[in-house]
Amino acid sequence: MAAQDRPTSGSLEERLLEEGNQFSFFQVVRLLERYYRPQARLGHQGPASGEVVRFRPDNAMAFPSSDVVRVERLAPTGDAPARFRVTTSFLGLYGTTSPLPSFYTEETLRWDPEEDTARAFVDLFHHRLLSLFYRSWTKYRYHVQFEDEGKDDFSGRMFGLIGLGTRGLVGLTRLPSVRMIRYAGLFVQRPHSASALEGMITDFFDGVPARVEQCIARWVMIQPEQRIRLGRVNCRLSVDASLGEKVLGRTKTFRIVLGPMGYDSFKSFLPIGESFRRLDAMVSLFVADRLDFDVELQVRRAEIPRLQISGSGMAWLGWSTWLYSAEADGIGERSVVLERPAARAKAMAPG
């Protein structure tokens, strides 16, 4: 049974049938399309038999009080889905708003409702006209045409702006792809700035303070064919000569500083947590250049549980364990620097 505070589908349909004139035209059509999920959308390529709504204008001579006169359920035909007829008070070749002389409307009133073939023929054009009118209203209203999981056409275009235009890519990332649409404006800006990355991380992870430190020093391995070898590979002193297998560089690495944060949030950003994997996927998607980065997590010292043997809490050496120091007793937070798995593997690779 449905919850008492939640309207059932039957009550929604009954209200539309009984009080259809209390709804706006767009709301009536939107509710019917969203609930019944027709095979064909109104105003598109059809077929018309797959649409959930049929339109016709009202032929009454009274002044209309709303844009929807009534909503009626059509008789089912075979296994066809439910269909409804929405009678409107606008955009008709007959009725009070018709641009034609009133005697055309008076003529429709004389026709037999049971054998109203002439009116049914004219309503073919009315239905298409009102369908296109509804489609034009939804075209630039993203919240109206949005479908679950971003399956609508407009969401597909937004995915293209953030680098997820291919449907196969949407499911490969650990990110909630629909939520990433809100950052499309940041993705289209070139070049991508550190401040944009900071704001996106803070917003995505519910207000966690984020700061980007640029030009972080890191040892970079020199490819074997580029190392100095006497008599084989020569370099110029003070220009491109270096001793050893690696060189200290600042052009390829930046650091993301997160925090101060609580201990529970801190654990989620460890490499075993989902937040760390999502952060890695987000930054990799946003930073188009071939840059490495590491993450510094700052946790408020007051929230760090004491490490005890056989304690109930779990600790990870190098990540969430610190030795007590009287000198550091007054420090407001502790921090740990984490490298991406790809960057760590690259640094440990043999020359």
8 — phi, psi (to 5°)?
-80, 165
Higher-confidence position of 185 and 239: 185
pLDDT at 16: 92
Cis peptide before 47, with omega less than 30 degrees from 0? yes
Q: How far apart are CA 270 and CA 219, in angstroms?
A: 23
| 143, pLDDT greater than 70 | yes
- Per-residue pLDDT tens for 243-299? 888 888 898 899 999 989 999 999 999 998 899 999 999 998 999 777 889 999 999
* Angle ∠(95,98,102) on CA atoms, nearest 5: 70
Decide if 259 contacts 233 (C-beta within 8 A): no
Confidence of residue 239 (pLDDT cuts 50, 70, 90): confident
Q: How far apart are CA 64 and CA 54, in angstroms?
A: 20
Task: Find the Cα–Cα–Cα–Cα dihedral 118, 119, 120, 124, rounded to 10°.
Answer: 110
Decide if 162 contacts 187 (C-beta within 8 A): yes
Q: How many CA atoms lie within 13 A of 212 on its CB side?
A: 19
Q: How far apart are CA 116 and CA 108, in angstroms?
A: 9
Largest CA distance in the chain: 107
pLDDT at 328: 56
User: Could you give the percent of the chain with pLDDT greater than 70?
Assistant: 87
**Residue 192: exposure state from Cβ atoms within 10 A (0-12, 13-18, ≥19):** middle
Length of the chain: 351
Confidence of residue 229 (pLDDT cuts 50, 70, 90): confident
* Three-class secondary structure of residue 19 per DSSP: helix
Q: How far apart are CA 34 and CA 42, in angstroms?
A: 12
Threshold 0.85, pTM exceeds: no
Amino acid identity at 208: V
- Per-residue pLDDT tens for 293-346? 999 999 988 888 877 776 566 778 888 887 766 565 555 678 888 887 554 444
How is residue 36 written in tokens?
């019944």
**Is the alpha carbon torsion for 272, 274, 275, 276 positive or negative?**
positive
Cis peptide before 176, with omega less than 30 degrees from 0? no
84: β partners: 53, 73
